[in-house]
Amino acid sequence: MAVANLKQRAHPAPVRATASGKEAVRDSIGPLIARQRIMVVVGAGGVGKTTMAAAMAVRAARCGRRVACLTIDPARRLADRLGIADNLPEDRIKDVTEILGDEVFPGGRLWFGMLDPKRTFDGMVRRRASSPAVARRILSNRIYRYLSSSLSGIQEYMALEALCELERRTEIELIVLDTPPTANAIDFFTAPRRMAEALDGKLLRILRRAYEGPGRVGVSLLGRSASTLVKGISRITGAELLEEMMGFIDAVSDLFGGLAEQARQAEEVLRGHDVTFCLVTSPEKATLEEARELRQEMTKLGLRVDAVLFNRTHWPLVDAPPFTLEPEVRREMERLNARWNRALEAERGDVEAIARTWTELEAVVRIPLIPDNVDRVIALDRMGQHL
């Protein structure tokens, strides 16, 4: 870091959200991490969401909680941050404590999972199928294999399926969920509803009528009624397609009959009183505007942002460099320090404006600029201390 003499002092007194006596907005999410069951990390791409999620999970585990951290980002960044990329399992969350040792998380525990949508879908089929034979029929069907990897919303819905599965595990006290960037975040929150509409009984009834009705109209009607279903599977044609389609319909009719109910339950989990949404942003104006828009969209869906994390801020304030430096060096340090402090003051206004006007917030936190190589548990824990 180029600046000199960082003042190691606490954050200033937090800004009150309103002038009507409402409790002051905290400058720490520690109380939220200590009491909540689920922490959902949202925000634009490139603001450090993945690092924040990892730091949050590591800090909670090192403070004694049993924590599961799940990312639906297809990249392996979170695994790299934790230093366990080479030890990831293929079909379940991994106990990081087993890899790093119990002494790393005294009294706590940390699990990590990186979502594979298809594996999660396959697991759901095995759990809900009426018998192992029915599950095998579904999993071997080529139309199912296409749907399980290509249907719009499948990744987001499977993430919520995985979240609900973790939520039922009593040995886990806290779940930290890293979500897609803002562009896909709303898709994530509406995925249960969209998946239910795509795979509920109505679609299956349309397809069944197409193949069992008078004259068995088959492929031509299918092309008009449910073209999105067979887009991308053009290699299956004619009678072979009819056979595959009927096999798919027969196998999944009962399986997906209750999908709407499952979608409703997933939405209820997200709206639970023990769920906190943490919005990560940076001081840049464009990113702040994107954060405001995301909050508005979430509000429309009945989801409340409880904390805002300002990442990569110019914090803390820096003093004048010591007089013992060479004059030329001291002048350069003064110039750098002045630029740093000006940026800090500019950012302070944005932080205070959000704390003052977003009246639902419990916490607004500034996280300072840190080196880019935050990739191990101890470094993530130090970042977690800022949270």
Of the listed ranges 172-181, 184-193, 208-217, the least confidently predicted one is 208-217
Residue 370: inside a domain: yes
Domain hosting 371: range is: 30-126+155-191+274-386
User: What does DSSP say about strands 94-95 and 109-114: parallel, antiparallel, or unpaired?
Assistant: antiparallel
Q: Count the helices and strands in the chain (H runs, E runs).
A: 17, 8
- The domain that holds 174 is classified in CATH as 3.40.50.300
pLDDT value of position 336: 93
Residue 3 pLDDT grade (very low, low, confident, very high; cuts 50, 70, 90): very low
Residue type, 358: W
Let me know if residue 199 belongs to a domain. no
- Residue 153 CA, chain-centre distance (Å), reads 15
Mean pLDDT across the stretch 115-128? 79
Residue 84 within a domain: yes
Give yes or no for residue 363 having a pLDDT over 90: yes
| Alpha helices (H) in 141-256, listed in sequence order | 142-150, 154-167, 182-199, 201-212, 219-225, 227-230, 238-252
Given this model, what pLDDT does residue 8 score?
35
**Residue 162 or 332, more confident:** 332
How many CB atoms within 10 Å of residue 64? 14
Q: Is residue 377 part of a domain?
A: yes
In 3-state terms the chain splits into helix, strand, coil percentages (rounded to 5) of 55, 15, 35
CA atoms within a 13 Å half-sphere pointing along the CA-CB vector of 15: 18
Q: What is the pLDDT of residues 271-295, one digit of tens each?
A: 889 999 999 999 888 999 999 999 9
Model confidence over 190-226: pLDDT tens digits?
776 776 666 555 555 555 555 555 544 444 434 443 4
178 in a domain, yes or no?
yes
> Could you tell me which of 291, 304, 386, 316 has the C-alpha nearest to residue 7?
316
CA geometry: angle 98, 99, 100, nearest 5 deg: 100
The most confident of the ranges 84-98, 99-113, 153-167, 317-331 is 317-331
Contact, 122 vs 139, CB < 8 A?
A: yes
Q: Residue 235 CB: number of other CB atoms within 10 A?
A: 8
Report how many domains make up the chain: 1
Residue 223 lies in a domain: no
CA-closest candidate to residue 105, choices 386, 311, 378, 316: 378
Inside any domain, residue 41: yes
pLDDT at 72: 67
Tell me the pLDDT of the chain averaged across its residues.
76
Query: Is 230 within the bounds of a domain?
Result: no
Cα–Cα nearest to 44, from 271, 275, 289, 276: 289
Residue 145: the pLDDT is: 79
